[in-house]
Amino acid sequence: MKEENNIGDLKLDTFIYDTTLRDGSQTEGISFSIDDKLKIARKLDHLGITYIEGGWPGSNPKDLEFFRLINKEPLKNSRITAFGSTRKPGIAVEQDSNVQALLESGVKTAAIVGKAWDFHVLRALETTLEENLNMVKDTVVYLKEKGLEVIFDAEHFFDGYKHNSEYAIRVLKAAEQADWIVLCDTNGGTMPWEISEIIGKVTEAVKNPLGIHVHNDSGCAVSNSLMAVAAGCRQVQGTINGYGERTGNADLCVVIPNLELKMNKRVLPEGNLKNLSEAAHYISEIANMPHHNNQPFVGHGAFAHKGGIHVSALLKDPLTYEHIEPEAVGNNRRVLVSELSGLSNLLYKAKEFDLDINSYDDETRKVIRQIKQLENQGFQFEGADASLELLLRKAFGQYDDFFQLKNLKMIMEKSEGEEITAEAMIKLTIGDQTFHTAAEGDGPVNALDNSIRKALTEVYPEISEMHLSDYKVRVLNGNQGTGAKVRVLIDSVDKTDQWSTVGVSENIIEASYQAIVDSINYMLMKRKLNE
C-alpha cells in the first residue's frame, strides 16, 4: 500500500475512510441496529467509499456480529475495516483481548488507535512514554505479521505535537510498519493554518502515506481536511452528514465533492459522485435524524433560490448564483415562491410545472400579489409545491376541481376516563352525483381524511394508493393562545411520488381540510395529465 494508489481496479488520488458506523454512532440520538449498519455499509459501497470502518469488535457483541455478516456480502468497492486500540500497558500483544478480537473479526484491514500526546499517555493511560511507544510498535508489527493492512490513528496528534513535538513524532516512527499513518485532531481545536504547518513538518520526518481525521469542535473539520490533503495527506477520514460525538466529525458529503470538483482529486469511482445526495438522505433516514436543509451540496435547500433578483439572473445563466451544477452531486435546483418573489420566480415555476404563462402581463402580476397576500396570512408555498402548482393552474384557468364540498360536520365525544372519539360526516358532489358518508377516526383529522376518502373512492379508486406520510402543525401567532392561527403542512406519497400541501386557519380542522383536499386534488390532477 505504501507505494500504490489503487485498490482493486480503482485508481484514486485520495482515499475516503468512512467511520459513520463507529464515530457516527456516537452522535447523541443515534443508535444503529445490526440491520441498520448492514444497510449503511451497502450504500457506502454503492457510493464507492474505499474504507468502511464497521466498529470496534472488542467492545461489544453487536459489532462482532456485524463483521460476521458483512464478510459474507459481495462488496464491490469498499474494504471493511475493524477498529481497535494498541495493546494495553504491561500486556503482551498476543494476550490482549481487543487485539485478538480484530483478528477474529475476519477483516483484512485494521485501524489501530494509539496515544500521540504525552499528556494523555501519563494521565489517561497512566503508563510511561517509552511503554506507549512499545505498545504502538508491538501492535502494528503483530497485525502486519498476521497479514493485515494496518492503519495507525495517532490520537490527539496535533495537540500532542504542539505540546511536545519530539515525542509526537517518535510515536509516528514507532508505527513505521503501518500502511497508513493518520493524524488525528481528536479534540477538534486545531486551526487550518496549523494543520498545514504541522503536516509539512511530519512529511519531513516520516515516509508513510498520511491520512487526516478531524473533529468539528471549532467548526473547521471540513477546512482542516481539505488543508491536510493540500499539504500531502492521501486519506481522509470522516462521516456521512458529519455525524459524530459532540459537534461531529468532518462531513464527507462536503469533503468529497470539494476534493473532486474543486481540488481535482479522484476519490470515488468515475460517475459515482452523482449518487452522493441520495446516499446522504438515505443514511439520515436510517439514522432517524433530520437532514439539514442547508447542508452544502446535498441539502434540500443547497440549490434553492428565493430572491427575485437571483432568479432573474438564473433564468439567463445558472452560473450567476450556483458554484456547481446541482446534478453533479445528485441534487437539483429549486426556485421558491414566497413574499420575496419577483416575476422571475413565478415564470421559473411555471416553466417547471409546464404551464404556459411566460409573459410579464397584468394577470401574472396579479398572481404574484395574491401569493404575497396569502404568505402574509401565514401560507408558506416554498415547502408546499403541490399547493403552489394548484394555485397557479387555477389562477390561469388550467385546472378544474375534481369534487366540491357541500357540507361537513364533525362530532367529538368524550366521557370521563375515556378517550375522545371523532366522527366526520361529509357531503361531496362529483359532477351531477352527490356522495354523503360518515367515518370515524383516531382523531378529528384522521376522521376527516377517512370520510373524504370514503366519499371519493367509488369514483376515484386510485385514492387508495396514496397516504399521508407526515403531518406538521405550526402555531403562527402564539400570543393569541388557543385562538392562534395555525399552518398545517402535509406530506403525501403514492407508489412513485411524494408531494407537499399546506393549509392555514385559526381552526386546525379547516387548515387540515385545505391541505388534505389539495393533496387529493394534486394526485388526481397528475394522474389525469399523465393519461
Q: With 50 as the cut, is the pLDDT of residue 2 above it?
A: no
The residue among 316, 321, 291 whose CA lies nearest residue 304 is 321
Residue 272 has pLDDT above 90, yes or no: yes
* DSSP bridge partners of 474: 487
Spell out the residues 6+ positions from residue 369 whose beta carbon is closer than 8 angstroms to its own: none
Is pLDDT at 478 greater than 50 in this prediction? yes
Residues 190-216: what's their mean pLDDT? 96
The answer to whether 95 and 52 are in contact (CB under 8 A) is no
Angle (nearest 5°) at CA 475 between 472 and 478: 160
Does residue 454 contact residue 446 with C-beta atoms inside 8 Å?
no
Tell me which range, 82-86, 353-357, 492-496, is most confidently predicted by mean pLDDT. 82-86
As given in the structure block, the three cell numbers for residue 70 are 458483512
CB-side neighbour CA atoms (13 Å) of 400:
4
Can you give the pTM of this predicted structure? 0.72
Mean pLDDT of 178-185: 97
Task: Give pLDDT tens digits for 210-234.
Answer: 999 999 999 999 999 999 999 999 9
Secondary-structure class of domain 12-286 per CATH: alpha beta
Residues carrying CATH 3.20.20.70, the chain: 12-286
Q: How far is Cα 152 from Cα 319, in angstroms, rounded to an integer?
A: 43
Supply the DSSP symbol for 495. S
For 401-423, what is the mean pLDDT? 87
Q: In this structure, what C-alpha cell is assigned to residue 392?
A: 397557479
Q: What is the pLDDT of residues 93-109, one digit of tens each?
A: 999 999 999 999 999 99
Inform me whether the pLDDT recorded for 443 exceeds 70.
Answer: yes
Higher pLDDT residue, 469 or 150? 150
Digit-coded pLDDT (tens) for 9-37: 458 999 999 999 999 999 998 989 999 99
State the fold for domain 378-402+466-531: Double Stranded RNA Binding Domain (3.30.160)
User: What is the pLDDT at residue 369?
Assistant: 76
Q: Out of 26-40, 208-222, 241-255, 391-405, which region has the weakest mean confidence (pLDDT)? A: 391-405
How high is the pLDDT of residue 7?
47
Residues of the chain with CATH 3.30.160.340: 378-402+466-531
Percentage, residues of the chain above pLDDT 90: 58
Question: Rounded to an integer, what distance in angstroms lies between the CA atom of residue 476 and that of residue 159?
Answer: 48
Compute the average pLDDT of residues 153-167. Answer: 97
Q: Are the CB atoms for 297 and 331 separated by under 8 Å? A: yes
Classified as helix, coil or strand, 426 is strand
pLDDT of residue 427: 93
Arithmetic mean of pLDDT over the chain: 88
